[in-house]
Amino acid sequence: MLLLASYFFYMCWIPSFVFLIFGMTVFNWIMGNSISRASTHKKLLFGVGIAINLLTLAVFKYANFLLGSVGLNDWHMNIVLPLAISFFIFEFIHYLFEINKGNKPISSFILFALFAAFFPTQIAGPIKRYADFEKQMKEETKFQLTYLDEGIPLIIVGFAKKILLADTLAEFVSMGYVVPGSFGSLELWLFAYAFAFQIYFDFSGYTDIARGSAMLFGYNIPINFNMPYIASNISNFWHRWHISLSSWLRDYLFIPLGGSRNGHWQTNRNLFITMTLGGLWHGASWNFVVWGIYHGLVLIAHREFNAVQEKFVFLKDFFQSKIGNFLSIVLTFHIVCVGWVFFRLQNIQDAFFIVKRMLCFSPVFTAKEATSKQFLLLQDHLPVIVVVSLILTTFLLISNLPLSIIQENGILKKIPAPFVGAFCLILVFIMVVFLPDGNEPFIYFQF
């Protein structure tokens, strides 16, 4: 039933693409069984399996980007990006890696097909690990009301994060990047803060909805966020943000490249390659490549700074103190916000211009070429917008911690049922009353 429901769900956008996910499922199931049984040519089979998965992803997601990058724009192909291809291809690659290590393949084709197509995680993850998911598929479970007790509140909270917070911030962020060159440092930092919380509430809200939907059927999907904006360094941030992707990149890209086993320079090289390819995974555009490169360089800088701290004990003691830890959190958050500019703006020249203006203080609001109605409205009401934005940003900073604790650390399970019910009713009422006029798609649906 779940497999049929998942395929129906997948076909609701472009029905013909169901043949792609079904075909790749058949291929990877056969390859997994073949690798498991092979006594010779095991590495060859594994290599062919990984190559076909990557080639499929490259054709659908990167063909036009690669052609344009080498100056062959006339060869542009009319390719529509299939729904969720980045996520289910990564799950297939993970599966083949684990079978190649000696783990047992999933014997049932139905169960293997459900692993790839499971509709709550189908579109934007979290990226599942087959061993954990297979155990849950094989369990003899019956419907329980506790599934609803856990799932429905998580779904409602996820929708609240998306509708009330992410979509409201999206209006402000879009307004700010209409004519970005006409804003000073203060406004640009406000827009960067706003997008940081927009993408957090947007993506973690989707994850909550996915996890809650899975819980309705008795499936536990791992968390994908763990209060990322209280990370004390950039490495810790990546242990808290999009956890399923971060761990996938570590296990199936960084470690196979050599990890940190082959010396100082090689480790930095592997970090750089991993984050650059991780950026490219997010989209076929140079802004994502630059975003990945940026995080690769920042991770290398963090690693080098750790080496310096080991030599100077007073530095290590300072950053382990409460004041040092607080300053580390603030600095890490701002480093992440700079990166979000590259993530948000597809025009790479605009992104570099904005980052330069953010880091080099410039006057507030230098409007010259502004002509759009949206921009003129912003100009007329700028003082009010700045004050409201500061209040909103402060509110979001304060609300981030309790919201994260509630959703990401399972606090809802510990609250008495009447209080959870009242809390959910209040959220539903607020969503109905304050529903935004616009309808923003989930950011990670484009990947």
Q: How far is the first Cα of the chain from the last one, in angstroms, to the nearest whole number?
A: 27
Measured between alpha carbons, how far is 296 from 301 in angstroms, rounded to an integer? 9
Measured between alpha carbons, how far is 230 from 405 in angstroms, rounded to an integer? 12
Measured between alpha carbons, how far is 31 from 35 in angstroms, rounded to an integer? 6
Angle 145-160/382-408 helices, nearest 10 degrees? 160
- Give Cβ neighbours of residue 332 (< 8 Å, ≥ 6 apart): 231, 232, 233, 234, 236, 237
- Give Cβ neighbours of residue 256 (< 8 Å, ≥ 6 apart): none
DSSP state of 368: S
Q: What's the longest Cα–Cα distance across the chain?
A: 73
Q: Which of 178, 174, 169 is nearest to 196 (CA)?
A: 169
Identify whether the C-beta of residue 112 lies closer than 8 Å to the C-beta of residue 29: yes
Measured between alpha carbons, how far is 59 from 64 in angstroms, rounded to an integer? 8
- Give Cβ neighbours of residue 178 (< 8 Å, ≥ 6 apart): 372, 374, 375, 378
CA 244, distance to chain mean position in Å, is 9
Residue 282 bears catalytic tag:
yes
Place of tokens 């006409």: 182
Q: Which stretches of 107-255 are DSSP H helices? A: 109-117, 119-122, 130-138, 145-160, 167-176, 185-215, 234-240, 243-249
94, 242, 282, 295: the catalytic one is 282
Which residues are marked as active site? Answer: 282
